Amino acid sequence: LQEDALRFIELEGSLSRLRVVRKYSVPAGERGIKKNTIAEAGELFSPLQTLRNRIGGFKAPVALSIPSRDILIRIVELPDLELEEAREALQWDFEKYFPYAYSDAAVDISKVDNPLKGEQGMMSVLVAACKIRTVESLMRLADSLGMQIATIEPENIAMFRSVLGPTLSFSGGYLAVFAENSVNQLVLGYKDNGILYRTSLLEMNGGEDGKQQNFSALVREIGNTLTFVRNQYREIAVEHIMLAGSFGGETGLKEMIENATGLKVTAADPWGPWGIQVPPDDALGWETAVGLAVRELS
């Protein structure tokens, strides 16, 4: 679910050799999602209905994304427990990390490698939380369309998975940047984990002069993020930047980032890491959809 379009993809094959069975994109409308947050879930009914009719119905459970500004993602230190027990323990300190009560939240957790060494007997978990009413509105919408939900996942987590692939892992730190027209995602990676997620609202279009100004704004955002990482994650040395998204192939942007940061920048996409042939048309903007589709494979 994205502001410009609703994107659907179906894959088949083995882990290292997947192929696209079907992929469709329909306009999202103007009122359902605004500034990368769900403004009115009911306004997504019509575009989802159009998508349903185009694919002949939702015949299998669907992995659905949720816009990143509807989600808060934090690294939390918890006692080294099984995940279900850790989830129970989280509720007692939940409001130390999130601005609403545990009872008002939909929460998912996963264990991650964290370069910041915690106390003995503790573990680091990635906690993704959003207001439960947001998830409930999506569930009601799905039910009205005959859509069975397999999972609902933050879009930026799915995006990160899509460009990392099933085997890629860096020994140190790296930054994944997803440059889109109006919403940019920055993810600090460590090994094969994302440990810091940031969303930036920046318009990237606007003619050649406007584009260069907007590229400069994104480069500043990247610089600010790297400064934050150096101050807060001193155990991580960011050595590499992955540039993806609709503007990931822009040579001018790549050069601006390299000149400003002194780091190597490589273009990334969601197709190559999974052995998927790049579609001959409409190949940009599919990081979230691919990341959702390969969720059970990674």
Question: pTM for this structure?
Answer: 0.92
CATH value at residue 90: 3.30.1490
pLDDT 10s digits, 130-158:
999 999 999 999 999 999 999 999 999 99
> What three-state secondary structure class fits 26?
strand
Residues in CB range of 153: below 8 A, 6 or more apart:
63, 64, 65, 66, 108, 128, 292, 295
Instruction: Say whether both 183 and 266 belong to one domain.
Output: yes
Q: Is residue 178 domain-shared with residue 265, that is, in the same domain?
A: yes
- CATH (domain of 238): 3.30.420.40
List, in sequence order, every beta strand (DSSP E) within 140-263. 149-154, 173-179, 183-190, 193-201, 238-244
**Both 256 and 172 in a single domain?**
yes
In a domain, 220, yes or no: yes
Integer Cα distance of 266 and 175 in angstroms: 11
Find, among 119, 129, 121, the residue nearest to 152 by Cα. 129
Contact 25, 290 (CB under 8 A): no
Range of the domain at 216: 166-274
Tokens representing 275 are 């052995």
In a domain, 127, yes or no: yes
Number of structural domains found in the chain: 2
Q: What is the DSSP letter of 209?
A: H
* 201: phi then psi, degrees, rounded to nearest 5: -95, 105
The answer to whether position 227 is within a domain reads yes
Instruction: Please state, in angstroms and rounded to a whole number, the distance separating the CA atoms of residues 237 and 248.
Output: 23
pLDDT tens across 3-58, in order?
989 999 999 988 778 999 999 999 998 899 999 999 999 999 999 999 999 999 99
Side-chain half-sphere exposure of 143, counting CA atoms within 13 A: 6
